[in-house]
Amino acid sequence: MSTMKLVAVSGGLGHPSRAAVLAKAITEAIVARMPIDAHAISVADLVQDLAGVVSAKSAPASVSEAVTRIETADALVVTTPVYRGSYTGLFKHLFDLVHHEALIGKPVLLAATGGSDRHSLVIDHQLRPLFAFFQSLTLPLGVYANDSDFSNYEVSSDALKERIQLAIESGIGYLELRG
Q: Which pLDDT tens digit goes with each residue over 16-25?
A: 999 999 999 9
- With vertex at residue 57, the alpha carbon angle to CA 11 and CA 106, rounded to the nearest 5 degrees, is 50
Confidence of residue 1 (pLDDT cuts 50, 70, 90): low
Domain map of the chain by residue range?
4-158
Task: Give how far the C-alpha of residue 119 lies from the chain's centroid of Cα atoms, to the nearest Å.
Answer: 17
Q: Does the predicted TM-score (pTM) go above 0.85?
A: yes
The CATH number of domain 4-158, selected from 3.40.50.300, 2.130.10.10, 3.40.50.360, 1.10.10.10: 3.40.50.360
Predicted pLDDT of residue 84: 86
3-state SS track over 18-81: HHHHHHHHHHHHHHCCCCEEEEEEEHHHHHHHHCCCCCHHHCCHHHHHHHHHHHHCCEEEEEEE
